[in-house]
A = this chain, B = another copy of it.
Amino acid sequence: MKAGDNFSRVFVVDEPVYSGFIQTFHDTNPLHTNDEFARSMGFKSKVMHGNILNGFISYFIGECLPQKNVFILTQEISYSNPVYIGDQLNFSATITEVHESVNVTDIKYKFSKTDGTKVAFGKIKIGLR
């Protein structure tokens, strides 16, 4: 991997992902489970958990990079817009810096909806061993 390398991937927040997240982590906050409550907070309907996107990031780092001997050191994520059930997300990531002396690589990424709406963006620092 070298600076400038790009990766992209499509992720869908479908029912199995949504239900799997809730069954695993038990976050049933009404924003995520109750359409009426979500609408009272100004959203279109129940909002998907932001940390579902961090699960997709785990998959990206673990499964989509050319090397398997990687592990995450730090992550940052900023949520720009809500994700709803069934949304298809275009994920794109770019290697921004490779610190060869310590085998650390910096990545920036974003998630967008198919209409171009930015959903989340951030940075990941990974180690290679």
Interface residues of chain A, those whose CB is within 8 Å of chain B, are 16-17, 20-21, 23-32, 37, 41-42, 47, 49-51, 54-59, 61-63, 68-79, 129
Within the complex, the shortest CB–CB distance from A28 to chain B, in Å, comes to 7
Whether the pair A28, B69 counts as a contact (CB closer than 8 A) is no
Q: For residue A20, which residues in chain B have a CB less than 8 angstroms away from its CB?
A: 20, 23-25
Integer count of this chain's copies in the complex: 2
Whether the pair B41, A69 counts as a contact (CB closer than 8 A) is yes
Whether the pair A24, B16 counts as a contact (CB closer than 8 A) is yes
Whether the pair B71, A26 counts as a contact (CB closer than 8 A) is no
Pairs A–B under 8 Å by Cβ, sample size 15: A20-B25, A25-B55, A25-B58, A25-B59, A26-B59, A29-B63, A31-B70, A32-B62, A41-B69, A41-B129, A50-B71, A50-B72, A51-B57, A54-B75, A74-B76
Within the complex, the shortest CB–CB distance from A86 to chain B, in Å, comes to 16
Complex CA gap A37/B51 in Å reads: 27
